[in-house]
Structure 1
Amino acid sequence: MTPHATGTREQWLAARIALLEAEKALTRRSDELARQRQALPWVRVDKDYRFDTEKGSATLPDLFEGRSQLLVYHFMFGPDYKAGCPSCSSIADAFNGFAVHLAQHDVMLTAVSRASIDKLAAYKRRMGWSFPWASSQDNDFNFDFNVSFTEMQQRDGAIEYNYRRGSHAMDIENAPEPVKQFAATCGTDAKTYTRDRPGMSAFVLEDGVVYHTYSTYARGLDGLWGMYQWLDRAPLGRNEAGPWWKRHDEYPER
């Protein structure tokens, strides 16, 4: 017999209606947070970033592809990786489905990583993805938006990530076991792996000028991680003791 609470349909309905009020309050709070994000001051981006794309060299304004808004997913794929981060890959699995809708709503979605465009294009083919992906291998974009770091920053505990400066959990000498495991699946070691971090940044283009409007990192990406939105509504929730996910082509057939 299940150890979970059971009850009649009437009892379930009463509990569900009470929960609905909490869900509605959370939705209203989420709407208010979205308004606060959109009210943040815009910061002009004057640096001339040059990216490599599958279509050739591109500037930051070029990445908008005619739209006025650009959402960048900072995908963990460093120049020394042999494959993209499994967590970022799990998030990116959803991009194909909604990128087309965003593009029709004046919003361009692209991923940006420090790996070479040849590596990114090959990994896209492996994963079956079609969304745009640009290489920032030859510019400071990742460093300027606090998702990539130098060996010196890592050694000196001078990393600024998720709006906090100093040592982070992934910076310690003996990295957590999941970090080591993910690093190994990317064909590198933990120190090299953690010199790149996940995040997303938003930009707007007005009168030929690009402005940075928003960035989020770490758990701030939860809302973009589609599988977790579903798991949070499953009977057992996330039900995890550590990382369990893999790249979608690495699961055993069931």
Structure 2
Amino acid sequence: MQNQVVSRDEWLAARLGLLKQEKELTRRSDELARRRQDLPWVRIDKEYRFETGEGSASLADLFKGRSQLLIYHFMFGPDYTAGCPSCSAIADGFDRSVVHLANHDVTLAAVSRAPLAKLQAYKQRMGWTFPWASSFGSDFNADFNVSFTEEQQRNGTIDYNYARETPAPAAEIPSRSTPDGATVGAAMSGTDRATYTRERPGMSAFALEDGVIYHTYSAYSRGLDGLWGMYQWLDRAPKGRNETGVWWRRRDEYNKG
């Protein structure tokens, strides 16, 4: 249904009312950012190993000489044939931010459980430049609650986004208005739904001080909305998100039949 059509003065009055609420939200967002930065830290003593384009690396190595590390937990399991399309859309948005963050003492990298060769081939296909490490064979993804086992799926013991999840097969990866997201994402990643949903999206932040690594923050599910650039634009478009299912594709797939 078409929106109400009004005069410019009537529109301006409505817009100013909304502007007041937007400013309140901005101030609230600033306050939440401060609270994130005030969270207590957890010391990381466990040794994690990753495979990167430069060879085997520790978690400290992923900082690349900087004091802050942001990791995007990219859904790309060992049995996937391609990266998660949703994570791919998010990565399209942050890829060019890496250089700016690097010049502000922050390294932004992605970590996935797929073997390095798969990650590198997909990275080349998508034309990305961000650092991407493989945690294949490591506990890293499990320890940060973005990878789960078949047993956890069967027993209903998956804890994701700080809550116990509904046991499979009823469970879905929480989304906006796309209840078919896991099914479609699995097909687009060349795997079945159960395998696909054993990997989950998220981001984690770490600090490195005096040779000690600390975990400072993690977010999952819709906590990643602010990192998904295209949705920030859609929220400002006349029809908003306007979706009833998974409409996005990898950016090199839109013109395919």
Question: Which deviates more, 237-246 or 126-135?
Answer: 237-246
Q: Does 1:250 pair with 2:253?
A: yes
State the partner residue of 2:175. none
User: Secondary structure of the residue that 1:92 maps to in structure 2?
Assistant: helix
Q: Identity percentage over the alignment?
A: 68
* Residue in structure 2 matched with residue 66 of structure 1 by the alignment: 65
The DSSP-based 3-state class of the residue aligned with 1:111 is: strand
Using the alignment, how far apart are the partners of 2:165 and 2:6 within structure 1? 50
Gaps of 5+ in 2: 173-178
- Give the alignment's Cα RMSD to 1 decimal: 1.3
- Partner Cα distance (2:171, 2:156) in 1: 14
Q: Which residue of 1 aligns with 2:198?
A: 195
2:224 counterpart of 1:225: no
Question: How many angstroms does 1:173 deviate by?
Answer: 5.6
Q: After TM superposition, give the deviation of residue 174 of structure 1 in Å.
A: 8.3
User: What is the TM-score when the length of structure 1 is the normalising length?
Assistant: 0.95
The Cα offsets for residues 56-92 of structure 1, whole Å up to 9 and x where unpaired, read as 0000000000110000000000000000000000000
**C-alpha displacement at 1:229, in angstroms?**
0.4
Matched, 1:50 2:49: yes
User: Is the CA contact (8 Å cut-off) linking 2:165 and 2:171 kept in structure 1?
Assistant: no
Distance in 1 between residues matched to 2:165 and 2:23, nearest whole Å = 38
CA contact (8 A) 2:75 2:87 kept: yes
Structure 1 residues 174 and 23: CA distance shift in structure 2, 3 A: closer
Alpha-carbon shift at residue 166 of structure 1 (Å) = 3.6
Q: Structure 1 unaligned segments of length 5 or more: list them.
A: none
Q: Per-residue deviation at 1:105?
A: 0.4
Match of 2:23 in 1: 24
Matched residue SS, 2:108: strand
Distance in 2, matches of 1:174 and 1:30, equals 30
* C-alpha contact (below 8 Å) 2:184/2:246 kept by paired residues: no
Cα pair 2:180 2:246 within 8 Å, conserved: no
Counterpart amino acid of residue 127 in structure 1: M
**C-alpha distance 100-33 of structure 1, shift in aligned 2 (>3 A):** same
Normalising by structure 2, what TM-score? 0.94
Structure 1 partner of 2:210: 207
Matched residue count: 250
Deviations 1:108-135 (A, max 9, x none): 0000000000000000000000100000
Aligned pairs for 1:119-198 within 5 A: 119-167=118-166, 171-172=168-169, 177-198=180-201
Q: Contact between 2:95 and 2:129, CA under 8 Å: does it hold in 1? A: yes
| 1:170-192 Cα shifts (integer Å, max 9, x gaps) | x3268664322210111110000
Q: 2:70·2:203 contact (CA, 8 Å) conserved in 1?
A: yes
Instruction: Tell me the CA shift for residue 193 of structure 1.
Output: 0.4
Give me the whole-angstrom Cα distance separating, in 1, the residues matched to 2:132 and 2:165: 30
Q: Distance in 1 between matches of 2:166 and 2:150?
A: 13
Taking the aligned partners of 1:223 and 1:165, their CA distance within structure 2 comes to 24
Question: How far apart, in 1, do the equivalents of 2:162 and 2:43 lie?
Answer: 19
Counterparts of 1:6-21 in structure 2 under 5 Å? 6-21=5-20
**Contact 2:94 2:227 (8 Å CA) reproduced:** no
CA distance in 2, matches of 1:223, 1:178: 19
Give the letter for the 1:209 counterpart.
Answer: V
How big is the shift at 1:195?
A: 0.5
For 1:25 and 1:196, locate their aligned partners in 2 and report how far apart those are by CA, in whole Å.
36
